[in-house]
């Protein structure tokens, strides 16, 4: 069974979601503030985290930023009662793998958690992918460019692996969304574009200045050779 860490100051909601997720086969631990969440993460990192944007002792986004620096590939799903587009954008920019507005359907939360956990444990992963000066280890989520290493989030790793498997060949946005998010894009859903933007910033351009990841209007993306 997968262990989840649910970080939300709404104790009633935590009990509701915890009960539902337990029936779905998850082991759920709940924390209601950032301090206890940091302690729980250091003592025993879970398989995935469900994190609220608003916490009583600070911002969930700040906790996400710290979490990403210490547990780069730990799947994180953000929750927000405000439903503001800016919250979603900031969460994805800081490395959240997915995002749900509250109140959320427990069934949708369960489906998204299972999708992100499947992506974190792929059936067959090559030990290394090399294209030009870029070397990528999918199992470690680590990119090496000119001996400089950087760590990717789970969603970024899945995206880069898909693009490097077919360099120069465009991949449809919906196909990439299934790979990176485990679901189809909805209307006005910018989640995939935000993950691509984060990935571009991390790996930078080719030595000659050309972008490594190229967008094709209304079609998708490809890794340039």
DSSP string, 184-213: PPPTT--HHHHHHHHHHHHH---TTS--SE
Q: Which residue has better confidence, 102 or 122?
A: 102
Domain CATH for 34: 3.40.50.2300
Q: Which of 67, 97, 120 is at the close of a domain?
A: 120
Q: What is the CATH number of the domain that holds 206?
A: 1.10.10.10
77 and 13 share a domain? yes
Question: Would the pTM count as exceeding 0.85?
Answer: no
**Helices 191-203, 85-93: crossing angle, 10 deg rounding:** 30
State the Cα–Cα distance between residues 139 and 149, nearest whole angstrom.
Answer: 14
End residue of a domain, out of 120, 145, 168? 120
Q: Which of 47-51, 92-96, 119-123 has the lowest mean pLDDT?
A: 119-123
**Domain interval for residue 160:** 129-223
Per-residue pLDDT tens over the stretch 68-120? 888 878 889 988 876 566 777 777 888 888 888 888 888 888 888 888 887 76
- Which of 61, 93, 120 represents a domain boundary (last residue)? 120
Same domain assignment for residues 60 and 29? yes
Regarding whether 146 and 37 lie in a shared domain, the answer is no
Could you tell me which of 85, 17, 90 has the C-alpha nearest to residue 49?
17
The yes-or-no verdict on residue 124 having pLDDT over 50 is no
Helix axes 11-23, 106-120, angle to 10 degrees: 60
Q: Same domain for 146 and 113?
A: no
CA–CA gap between residue 113 and residue 13 (Å, rounded): 17
Pair 86, 139 in one domain: no
Same domain? 44 vs 116: yes
Q: Residue 79 and residue 7: Cα distance in Å, rounded?
A: 9
Find tokens 């780069």 and name the residue.
72
Please indicate, yes or no, whether residues 150 and 88 belong to a single structural domain of this protein: no
Q: State the average pLDDT over residues 27-52.
A: 91
Same domain membership, residue 111 and residue 172:
no
Co-location of 90 and 145 in the same domain: no
Q: Which residues of 27-51 are buried (b: 16+ CB within 10 A; e: fewer)?
A: ebbbbbebeebbebbeeeebbbbbb
């Amino acid at each position: 069974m997968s262990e989840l860490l649910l970080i939300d100051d709404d104790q009633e909601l935590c009990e509701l979601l915890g009960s539902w997720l337990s029936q779905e086969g998850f082991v759920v631990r709940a924390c209601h503030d950032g301090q206890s969440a940091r302690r729980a993460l250091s003592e025993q990192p879970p398989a995935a985290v469900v994190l609220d944007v608003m916490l009583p002792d600070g911002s969930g986004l700040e906790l996400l930023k710290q979490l990403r620096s210490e547990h780069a590939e730990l799947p994180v799903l953000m929750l927000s009662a405000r439903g503001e587009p800016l919250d979603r954008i900031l969460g994805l920019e800081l490395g959240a793998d997915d995002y749900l507005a509250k109140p959320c359907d427990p069934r949708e939360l369960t489906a998204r958690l299972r999708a992100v956990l499947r992506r974190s444990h792929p059936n067959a992963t090559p030990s290394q992918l090399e294209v030009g000066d870029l070397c990528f280890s999918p199992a470690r989520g680590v990119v090496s460019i000119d001996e400089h290493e950087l760590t990717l989030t789970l969603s970024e790793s899945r995206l880069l692996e898909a693009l490097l498997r077919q360099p120069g060949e465009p991949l449809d946005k919906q196909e990439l969304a299934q790979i990176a998010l485990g679901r189809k894009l909805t209307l006005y859903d910018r989640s995939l574009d935000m993950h691509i933007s984060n990935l571009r910033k991390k790996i930078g351009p080719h030595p000659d200045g050309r972008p490594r990841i190229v967008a094709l209007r209304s079609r998708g993306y490809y890794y340039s050779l």
